[in-house]
Amino acid sequence: MSKVLVIVETDASGPKTSALPGITAGQQLATAIGGELHLLVLGASVGAAAQAVATAGFGATTVHTVEHAELSPFTAEAWADAVVAAVRELGATAFGGTASSALREVVPRVAALLDAPVAPEVTGVAGAGAFTREISAGRAIARLEVEGAPYGFTARGSDFAPAEAGGAAASVSALAVGAISRRGTEVAGISKTESTRPALTEADVVVSGGRGMKEGANFKVLEELTDLLGGALGASRAATDAGMVPADLQVGQTGKVVAPNLYFAVAISGAIQHLAGMKGSKTIVAINKDPEAPIFQVADYGLVAKWEDAVPQLIELIKARKAG
């Protein structure tokens, strides 16, 4: 029977939230080809995480593990070796997962090593080996079909619902693989930004600022609004390129793709590159002093005003509502 192998990124407690849309894509693909869903967990010591994934079920037949010292910390070279070995061992028809920063590197490498086609950044499963994906920065939707097996895919996290736990628990099976190599790559260190806010790609509310914020100090007011709403702070490429905020806050085609329940675009004109990263948001609120700004074309609610006037007033109204 055909097998779809989904790579599941995990932490100590189980699957990362960002990995769940990739599982959903795998479920849909397994249904389309009439095959089984298999999950793959990689790392130096992943027993507990793999068991948590297996207990959640997700409709998978088996959760496979590859444990090797070279797999932690992450390098695309070592992970690609492990995935190649797993695909060959299982005879998988398809392999992939969420289009995270890690799997954007791993899946194409695996495809190259296997001389296999790959469907990147897909937004939907259209059939066996058939997908939809955005082109021209989201201005058109293309149908992409791959031939032969195996083939790879990465799924846009904002376009697939997070997989929900359910069904029978899956079994856990350790895979024996051959040599795994980082190919000379060394991880000099890992720097983590500590924040009490949710991750940008996982937040229910995102507040983003653009070039019109003028300078980094002005983002303090957006931070206050963000914290009142329990959300994450984002920015346009123009704002990050200008050094107002760190580059990891960039929302857009070349940054992070988000689809929160509520998205605030403050002083953002709405360039197509930015829209490609946030137009999947459930509700979009735009605040801009230019009534002709393109952002208003996709906004559900728009306010033509200077952010200096509108955002402080909004903050006071939210505070009053919470107090009352």
Distance CA 164, CA 304 (A): 40
Q: What confidence category does residue 189 fall into, taking pLDDT thresholds of 50, 70 and 90?
A: confident
C-alpha closest to that of 106 among 115, 96, 116 = 96
Residue 287 pLDDT greater than 80, yes or no: yes
| Domain span including residue 153 | 3-174
pLDDT at residue number 1: 83
Residue-wise pLDDT tens digits, 52-81: 999 999 999 999 999 999 999 999 999 999
Q: How many domains does the chain have?
A: 2
End-to-end CA distance of the chain: 60
B/e letters for 275-314, b = 16+ CB within 10 Å, e = fewer, are: bbbbbbbeebbbbbeeeebbbbebbeebbeeebeebbeeb
Distance CA 213, CA 216 (A): 8
Establish if 196 belongs to a structural domain.
no
Establish if 148 belongs to a structural domain.
yes
- What global pTM score does this model have? 0.85
Is 81 found in the same domain as 222? no
Establish if 200 belongs to a structural domain.
no
Is 209 found in the same domain as 170? no
Contact, 287 vs 212, CB < 8 A?
A: no
Is 166 found in the same domain as 295? no
Final residue of a domain: which of 174, 191, 221? Answer: 174
Three-class SS of 262-290 = EEEEECCCCCHHHHHHHCCCCEEEEEECC
CATH number at residue 288: 3.40.50.1220
In this structure, the dihedral spanned by the alpha carbons of residues 140, 148, 113 and 153, taken in order and rounded to 10 degrees, is 40
